Amino acid sequence: MSVTIHRHGDILIAIADNPPVNALSAPVRLELKAAIEQAAGDASIRAVVIACAGRTFFAGADITEFGKPPVEPLLPELVDMIEGSDKPVVAAIHGTALGGGCEVAIASHYRITVPSAKLGTPEVKLGLLPGAGGTQRLPRLAGVAVALELVAKGDPIPASVAKDVGIVDRLAGETSLLDDAIAYAREVADIRPLPRASQRPLSPDPEAVAAFERANARRFRGFEAPAANIACVVKATGTPYAEGVEFERQQFMKLMFGVQSAAQRHIFFAERKASKIDGIADDVAQRPIARVGIIGAGTMGGGIAMNFLSAGIPVTIVEMQQDALDRGTATIRRNYDATAAKGRMTAQQVDRAMALLTPTLSLQDLSDADLVIEAVYEEMSVKQDIFGKLDAICKPGAILASNTSYLDIDVIAAATKRPQDVLGLHFFSPANVMKLLEIVRGAATADDVLATAMALSKKIRKVAVIAGVCHGFIGNRMLEPRQVEAMKLLLEGATPEQVDRVHVDFGMPMGPFQMADLAGVDIGWHRDPNRIESIRDALAAEGRWGQKKQAGFYDYDDRRTASNSPRVAEIIEDFRRKTGTPQHEITDQEIVERTLYPMVNEGAKILAEGKAQRASDIDVVWIYGYGWPVYRGGPMFWADTEGLKKIVEGLDRHGFDVAPLLREKAEQGGRFTS
């Protein structure tokens, strides 16, 4: 049974139990319907309480049912039936009442929640909208402005806020929800007419809509679902519920069968799958991590440290020189203060985080660390030296990690006598902001070390993916062919602006040259201004190192606003002449084929070599590490939607060495993702 029915005198209590998150799967819907019918048919019942067992109230419709043949009763019917009940229905909420769960709650006549509960409609994050009356009832309960925030942005709100805006009626005791809900049901049992959200009047509020659209235009760029959510809320104003809900249904179905929602649902499951490590049991014992050491207080080391400090884990940070250490510590403090200034942290939280930081000049101070992360510059001999020293200093069982972006973890591990304790933890810059963490599994890395790293990634709120040892791991390895090809396109007639525009139009936050300017044109440069073998060398030799020098592939003003650079155009032209590269008109489509298709190709090679566990992990890397548009589902999902045959034809046409796995899948009509 997914729903058990109890009686408490004249109150019928329906308790759903569908672990892990009480998704509103078909059996749950059917049995909830039966509960409402039972109450209607039993004269001795005066009111109904709907509650959930386990960790949460309904967290939404069952996403795994989407795209499959519908099973009655559908959620929209069920919520209308709940609201239509002649006997009052009280929703008793704990955990997270999300999506369809929130819709069940607002279709109920009364809502009581524990103070720790959250309510929200995150469907937009799955490329959808609340399709069971949510877009119609929420504005009627909370007003247009609040409803827009909830449905079009999808962030849940705490119970206290939900109460303030009229979505929740009453707060229960944290441990007495059911008793309080039963008492509430008894209290309201005879009140008529029943408060039905769908029947409340709602006036149009064009100003609120316009202000909301203006404020969020950037955030919604490229996404289809936010506009559909907004349209539904607008429809709710001045339109009877029946008409509005019909419109909502049409919009929901359109989104549901569109590519964007499929992509966003793919990423929802991909993110969760990424935490499963092949060949390691879920219950493998983990090593306790009570104290972390970080070597290097530069941008990377400082950013990494902030993740642990924010999670309440003490950090010892090591630098070689006092001034570098002071600078690093001051930067951490400044970043926290900036977060507090934006209202995202309190001054006390900042102080608490900073109090957990111990700056030092001595590696010896890492002797009691459970995990040490090395974040010094990319030079193998330096890393080997550090790991050799750590081997002598650190306690047995300590996990030793390198934040290297490219280097061979096995070679680094060989500098120690405990390669089983060594792995890569590759954070992405800025490390306190970017969600991605590549956990690099060395040949000897022990299972419990990997499992510990994966569990820790959740504690510091990262999305982690397991990568094998190879140059650049998953993300940077795929970036390389894109950057190489982008440079070739410049020589053949494209401009940096055109290449970047194509990527931004595709949905990336920036294009290859904008990214180079942000990261630093001088990164990896040989530092000899007389050795000019590429456009990049020429830029670096002239001090055009990117944004930090206000000149790179673009010119920048004091506010870092980019403009096209006549000097860069000259340098490119000069190189075209010098290399005698034939010119042709480069279309936007050619840029897509030559910069994005090779990424898919590299992804296929990574998969075939077992350097990524699954195609969806590659998608997670690109969504969370590089800002690939989530509505395109990551490079491998996108390749599936483009059609692998088309990708292979494009790669062949441009003379690429096509990965055998990609060719094979294309020939067999296969896909990378399910």
Q: Single out the segment in contact with ligand 3H9 by CB under 6 A; choices: 107-115, 130-138, 502-510, 523-531.
A: 130-138
Closer residue to ligand 3H9 (CB): 66 or 406: 66
272, 417, 560, 584: which one contacts ligand 3H9 (CB under 6 A)? 272
The answer to whether 497 and 579 have CB atoms below 8 angstroms apart is: no
State the virtual CA torsion across 68, 72, 73, 77 in degrees, nearest 10: 80
Using DSSP, state whether 72 is helix, strand or coil: coil
Is residue 99 at the binding interface for ligand 3H9, with CB under 6 A as the rule? yes
Q: Which residue has the tokens 């990377």?
A: 300
Is residue 16 at the binding interface for ligand 3H9, with CB under 6 A as the rule? no
Distance CA 170, CA 184 (A): 9
Least Cβ distance, residue 223 to ligand 3H9 (angstroms): 15
Radius of gyration of the chain (CA): 28
Q: Which helix (H) or strand (E) holds 387?
A: helix 380-393
Q: Which two tokens stand for residue 2?
A: 């997914």
Is residue 132 at the binding interface for ligand 3H9, with CB under 6 A as the rule? yes
122, 496, 512, 552: which one contacts ligand 3H9 (CB under 6 A)? 122
Closer residue to ligand 3H9 (CB): 25 or 495: 25
Among 83, 103, 271, 602, the one annotated catalytic: 103
The answer to whether 489 and 594 have CB atoms below 8 angstroms apart is: yes
The answer to whether 383 and 374 have CB atoms below 8 angstroms apart is: yes
Least Cβ distance, residue 336 to ligand 3H9 (angstroms): 26
Closer residue to ligand 3H9 (CB): 134 or 512: 134
23, 168, 305, 521: which one contacts ligand 3H9 (CB under 6 A)? 23
130, 301, 303, 475: which one contacts ligand 3H9 (CB under 6 A)? 130
Least Cβ distance, residue 76 to ligand 3H9 (angstroms): 6
3, 11, 36, 59: which one contacts ligand 3H9 (CB under 6 A)? 59
131, 226, 424, 650: which one contacts ligand 3H9 (CB under 6 A)? 131
Least Cβ distance, residue 72 to ligand 3H9 (angstroms): 13
The answer to whether 573 and 494 have CB atoms below 8 angstroms apart is: no
Among 123, 149, 271, 590, the one annotated catalytic: 123
The answer to whether 435 and 408 have CB atoms below 8 angstroms apart is: no
Q: Which two tokens stand for residue 541?
A: 């030799």
The answer to whether 112 and 155 have CB atoms below 8 angstroms apart is: no
What are the helix (H) ranges across 311-355? 322-341, 347-355
Q: Which two tokens stand for residue 40?
A: 């209607």
Contacts (CB under 6 A) with ligand 3H9, residues 352-381: none
Per-residue string for binding with ligand 3H9, 60-79, x by CB under 6 A?
Answer: xxxxx----------xx---
Least Cβ distance, residue 588 to ligand 3H9 (angstroms): 34
Is residue 300 at the binding interface for ligand 3H9, with CB under 6 A as the rule? no
Least Cβ distance, residue 62 to ligand 3H9 (angstroms): 4
Using DSSP, state whether 120 is helix, strand or coil: strand
Summary count for the chain: helices (H), strands (E): 28, 19
Is residue 80 at the binding interface for ligand 3H9, with CB under 6 A as the rule? no
Is residue 293 at the binding interface for ligand 3H9, with CB under 6 A as the rule? no
Least Cβ distance, residue 12 to ligand 3H9 (angstroms): 25
Least Cβ distance, residue 169 to ligand 3H9 (angstroms): 22
**Measured on CA atoms in the order 209, 212, 215, 217, is the torsion positive or negative?**
negative
The answer to whether 672 and 639 have CB atoms below 8 angstroms apart is: yes
Q: Single out the segment in contact with ligand 3H9 by CB under 6 A; choices: 19-27, 309-317, 502-510, 538-546.
A: 19-27
**Measured on CA atoms in the order 645, 646, 652, 657, is the torsion positive or negative?**
negative
Q: Single out the segment in contact with ligand 3H9 by CB under 6 A; choices: 85-93, 96-104, 439-447, 470-478.
A: 96-104
The answer to whether 358 and 317 have CB atoms below 8 angstroms apart is: yes
Residue 374's identity, in one-letter code, is E
In the β-sheet with 399-402, what is the strand arrangement from edge to edge? 357-360, 315-318, 292-295, 371-374, 399-402, 422-427, 436-441, 463-468
**Measured on CA atoms in the order 187, 191, 194, 200, is the torsion positive or negative?**
negative
Task: Establish whether 103 is a catalytic residue.
Answer: yes
Least Cβ distance, residue 129 to ligand 3H9 (angstroms): 7
The pair phi, psi for residue 395, each rounded to 5°, is -75, 160
Least Cβ distance, residue 666 to ligand 3H9 (angstroms): 30
Strands 422-427 and 436-441: antiparallel
Q: Which two tokens stand for residue 290?
A: 């009570």
**Total residues at interface with ligand 3H9 (CB under 6 A):** 26
Contacts (CB under 6 A) with ligand 3H9, residues 100-119: 100, 103
Q: Single out the segment in contact with ligand 3H9 by CB under 6 A; choices: 33-41, 95-103, 349-357, 653-661.
A: 95-103
Q: Single out the segment in contact with ligand 3H9 by CB under 6 A; choices: 98-106, 335-343, 510-518, 617-625.
A: 98-106
The answer to whether 151 and 219 have CB atoms below 8 angstroms apart is: no
Closer residue to ligand 3H9 (CB): 126 or 317: 126
Least Cβ distance, residue 253 to ligand 3H9 (angstroms): 9
Distance of CA 240 to the CA centre of its chain: 37
Does residue 314 have a cis bond before it (omega within 30 degrees)? no
Q: Which two tokens stand for residue 548?
A: 């930090």
Is residue 96 at the binding interface for ligand 3H9, with CB under 6 A as the rule? yes
Closer residue to ligand 3H9 (CB): 103 or 370: 103
Is residue 21 at the binding interface for ligand 3H9, with CB under 6 A as the rule? yes
The pair phi, psi for residue 555, each rounded to 5°, is -95, 150
107, 126, 466, 658: which one contacts ligand 3H9 (CB under 6 A)? 126
Task: Give the binding site for ligand 3H9 (CB under 6 A).
Answer: 20-21, 23, 59-64, 75-76, 96, 98-100, 103, 122-123, 126, 128, 130-132, 134, 269, 272
Active site residues: 103, 123
